[in-house]
Amino acid sequence: MTIVYVLIGVVASSIVTFLLIRNFVKPSDSGGSSLLLIQSQLNNLSKTLDFRLAESERHMSESVNNVHQSMRAQLSDSYKISNELTEKLTRLDESTKQVVGFTDQLQSLQDILKNPKQRGILGEYYLETLLKNVLPPGSYEMQYKLGIDDAGKDLIPDAVVFVKDKIIPVDSKFSLENYNRIVEEKDQVEKEKLEKLFVNDLKNRILETSKYIQPVKGTMDFAFMFIPHEAIYYDLLINKIGALKEDTESLIHRAASKYKVIIVSPTSFLAYLQTVLQGLKAMQIEEQAKDIVKRVGELTLHLKTYMEKHDKLGKSIATVVNQYTDSSKEFKKIDKDIMHITESDKALGFDPVAIERPEID
């Protein structure tokens, strides 16, 4: 654009110069040649200006084309960036929706965990999932009725595991309120009070589980108390909760030794279930071995019967052979008697008819 302004200035200056010369120079013979010279110079200047204007126009056209191409490229890049940004915003929106969905699910889970009844249902579902993933069908049952206790109430643990002709009761317990308060509490004195409340809750749960130990009703002399919370079980295991002094026995040990209740978490319960599964397989092998022994006994009996029949048959065959041999001997005696009679007939002048003798081996 600066070149254009310069050219326009040059043209304007030339025109002004031409007008001034035309007004101030008087016509004469020498002036005519001067005017021709000036006119020639102006023509040359005009041609030069035309050439430069054409060059400027060409450069301007090329510049405009370059600018257009650059703008097109920038617009294309901007369009691509806009599309990519739109896609990213779309994915971000979907991710945001997923996060919102997860947040809603977490909120629902928190609401479930706040409600003791729903929390119990969640613990039972977790327990059933573990049993289903480890044990074969038919080796466990949910909400199994053991019978009636001394107070006339139904004895229905959350689950039972069948081991041969015995039953292992399993009850799910989810004491969470006081535990969460212990974790969130900063004051040590208040934390100890909450710990005592939590321990009392667990003791009550242990007593509730121990009532399902009914050997007279076919149960084992122990039961599992399933805590579907690894953190609670770990704190109990390391004596962080449940032992008021370092040298006291942990609540897990007291429950097992005093009440015959084995406290388990999802992880430790899997180990116990694997042991039970191996026991079931061993009992299955034992039953199969018993069946094999029974079949072998039946085979032995059949072989014995066969040998008796075979011996009798052999004796019978031997008797028949002996009788056959004796009869052959007697038959030979008859043949000799006939020969004697024939010889007597010949002496008397009779000619007996010859008959074929039976072949005797």
Predicted confidence (pLDDT) at residue 87 exceeds the cutoff of 90: no
Residue-wise pLDDT for 192-208, tens only, equals 888 888 888 888 889 98
Domain boundaries, the chain: 2-92, 127-264
Backbone phi, then psi, for 158, in 5-degree steps? -65, -30
Residue-wise pLDDT for 103-117, tens only, equals 555 445 454 445 555
Nearest C-alpha neighbor of 109 from the set 123, 96, 97: 123
Residue-wise pLDDT for 37-78, tens only, equals 777 777 777 777 777 777 777 777 777 788 778 878 887 777
- pLDDT at position 113 is 46
270, 217 in Cβ contact below 8 A? no
By residue count, the chain amounts to 361
- pLDDT at position 283 is 67
- pLDDT at position 327 is 79
**Threshold 0.85, pTM exceeds:** no
